[in-house]
Structure 1
Amino acid sequence: MATIDITAETFGPTVEDNDIVLVDFWAGWCQPCQRFAPTYSAASDKHEDVVFAKVDTEAQQQLAAEANITSIPTLMAFREKVLVFSQPGALNPSQLEEVITAVKGLDMKEVHAAVAERQAK
């Protein structure tokens, strides 16, 4: 599956309507972003059960601000509408594969219970 570009309008529905969503926050002038792009694209071809989204932080400055993006590239991973990973910096192929494997392997009952407990406090 190819990567998709998302905007402030499509961010919420993309996360809500898909089980696993990875989001790459990037900018055209960012050299590490440009180096990470082929790695991200290759992973999207390999993992058809995951949505690979990209947010151009220059075009979507409000969305980047709402997501507290302070460094790019930043990769976020959502599983069942929950942010389960967020890290700035370009990953190499094996690091990205580790993140994807870890996200797929999460016990979401535990994650949802932890989220509910945090919200109750």
Structure 2
Amino acid sequence: MATTTLTTDTFTQGVTGDDIVLVDFWADWCGPCKMFAPVFEEASEQHPDITFAKVDTDAEPALGQALNITSIPTLMAFREGILVFAQPGALPARELNSLIDQVRQLPMDEVRAKLAEAEKEDGASPDPQ
């Protein structure tokens, strides 16, 4: 399965539309991005049930900034619309496949419960300003 391109306008829908979505933040001038691209593309062929998407940080600087992308390539993994992994750097194929397996095995009921608890704690904490 080929990768898809996400933009500021399509990002939210793109990462919430499927069970698992992997997003590669890249730029054309980035050497490590060019090294990671075929690894990402090959993984997309091996895992047709997963959405593989790319964000060109030069074309979408506001999106990169909004997501605090400070180094590229950066890989983000979403499961059921929840960000479950974010890491800069080009992963070797073996590590990318291991990550995919880990994301598949996540107990999402527990993830949602922990997220709800963290949001509850953040909402209950006094504003330091």
Q: TM-score, normalised by structure 1?
A: 0.99
1:88 aligns with 2:92: no
* Equivalent residue number for residue 54 of structure 2: 54
Q: For structure 1, list consecutive stretches of 5 or more residues without a partner in the other structure.
A: none
Whichever residue aligns with residue 74 of structure 2, its letter is: T
Any idea what SS the aligned residue of 1:36 has? Answer: helix
Moved over 4 A (4+): none
Q: For structure 2, list consecutive stretches of 5 or more residues without a partner in the other structure.
A: 122-129
For these two proteins, the number of residue pairs brought into alignment is 121
1:13 aligns with 2:8: no
Aligned-pair Cα RMSD in Å: 0.5
* Equivalent residue number for residue 74 of structure 1: 74
**Separation of aligned partners in 2, 1:36 and 1:97:** 13
**Separation of aligned partners in 2, 1:15 and 1:91:** 20
**Separation of aligned partners in 2, 1:111 and 1:19:** 14
Cα shift at 1:100: 0.4
* Equivalent residue number for residue 36 of structure 1: 36
Cα shift at 1:17: 1.2
Whichever residue aligns with residue 53 of structure 1, its letter is: A
Q: TM-score, normalised by structure 2?
A: 0.93
1:117 aligns with 2:117: yes
Larger radius of gyration: 2
Any idea what SS the aligned residue of 1:84 has? Answer: strand
Q: Deviations over 1:72-102 (max 9, x none)?
A: 0000000011100000000000010011000
Q: Deviations over 1:14-55 (max 9, x none)?
A: 112111100000000000000000000000001011000000
Q: Percent identity?
A: 55
Any idea what SS the aligned residue of 2:22 has? Answer: strand
**Separation of aligned partners in 1, 2:16 and 2:38:** 26
**Separation of aligned partners in 2, 1:33 and 1:116:** 34
